[in-house]
Every structure is written in structure tokens, then in C-alpha cells.
Amino acid sequence: MKRTKITFSTETLPSELRPFLEDADVYDSSCSASARTLFIAGKEKAFLKIACKGSLEREGVMSAHLHVHSLAPRILAYLSEGDHDYLLSEAMEGEDGTAPHHLADPDKLATVFGESLRRLHSLPTEGCPYLNRTQEMAQDDMKKGADLTPLRKHAYAPVDSVILHGDYCLPNLLMDRFELRGFIDVGDGGVGDRHYDLCSGLWTLRYNLHTDAYRDGFLDAYGREAISEEGLAYFTHWAELLPS
């Protein structure tokens, strides 16, 4: 997780957030063009995410829901003002799955990555603020120009039965010496089909480790009894249909 120390003027922020940055060192920790993320090292360590108006509310709500289960950071503030959303969350201990010492032990990384996803998917779905995620994601992708009609040839029918992360990749898993601390960037989460996250997990392992050699270790650690190969094929095909 990169952090570049910067000079930051608090005058650009809503007044409610300025006290959190008093006498604090500020670092740019952005990893996405859609949001700016600042690491604040002050009286308490926190992350401040700044993005376009209306884009961070779901992340705040899902993070708060998962925090109840000790699987996401505590949300300190969410504000929507002017053209921007502001989401302030505590900084959890640990580093993400792409930290060099995690990537240096890929077998263990794949195992913990699978076990962590199973833990998330084992949470009760009651009270989750967002339901029917598979249908929602399909609608969103079609609005972006995806033609999902080829999915009809699959015998598999998605089942919304677990709490999804929604963007399950190594940068969004926080660990302390391979011990799960929590999940971040959960704004696409909600109750959906487990194979969506599983396919995302397989993709990020291939991307970050440059091989498919850890596929079986990840799926074994998750639990093969809960996995449908047809489900994996369905969501793999779905990803291939998305506009590049």
C-alpha cells in the first residue's frame, strides 16, 4: 500500500473533517482514478477517501455492517458536500495482500486468501443492507454496454446466498503476518452469489502472482464442497463479456 507524504490544505475539506487532520502528517495512498485516498497519521490513524458525489455512501454502509463482525474498519464520518463524497475510516493494523512479504509466500497467501473469503461468506445475511446483488450487477454492467445474453446458455442459475465483498482482490484484504484483519473497499458488496467473489479471487491471484499455480490452493482453502464448477464457469464467462 503506497504512501507518499504530501502537503494538504484542510481548507478544501468540509469543516467537520478538519479536526482529524490537525497536527497530522498526510500521505497520498490512492490506488484508483475514481477516488483520492489520504492516509492521516495524527492523533489517530485514519484513511480519508474523496470521490464524486454519491459514490461512497454504499461503501460506508457496507463497512459499518461488516465492522459489527470485526471484518472492516470503523467508519468515523461520511459526508456528501458540494461535488464530492468524503469517507473517513479508521486505519486497521496490517498490510494488504500485495505487500512483498505476503507475495513472497504464495502458497500461504493463496490459503489465507481462500480461508478469509469463506469467513466472509459464512456471515449471516440477515440485516445486510444490500440484497439481490447479482441482478443489480447485471443491470449495472448492461448499462455500461455489456451484452450478457450469452450467459443464458449456461445451465447454472446464480443464487444470492452469501455476503459478497464485490471486489475481492489482494489489495482489498488486510492481514498482519497472514492473520486476517479485515476487508476494505466493500462498496460493491451485498448479498449475492459466492462464485462472483471466487472468480475475482482467482483473477487477482493470477494477476499478482503471474501464474495459475495457486488456483487449487485457493479453492481448497475456501472449501470445495461449497463450490460449483458450473458457477465458476458462469461468472468467468460474465467477466469475459464486460467491455474492455
- Residue 74: which region, alpha, beta or left (left: phi > 0; alpha: psi -120 to 50)? beta
Using CA atoms, how far apart are residues 12 and 132, in angstroms rounded to an integer? 37
DSSP states along 149-197: GGGGG-S------EEE-SS--GGGEEEETTEEEEE---TT-EEE-HHHH
**Region of 9 on the Ramachandran plot (φ > 0 left; ψ -120 to 50 alpha; else beta):** beta
Respond yes or no: is residue 220 known to be catalytic: no
Q: Could you say which of 85, 160, 167, 197 is catalytic?
A: 167
Q: Which residues are catalytic?
A: 167
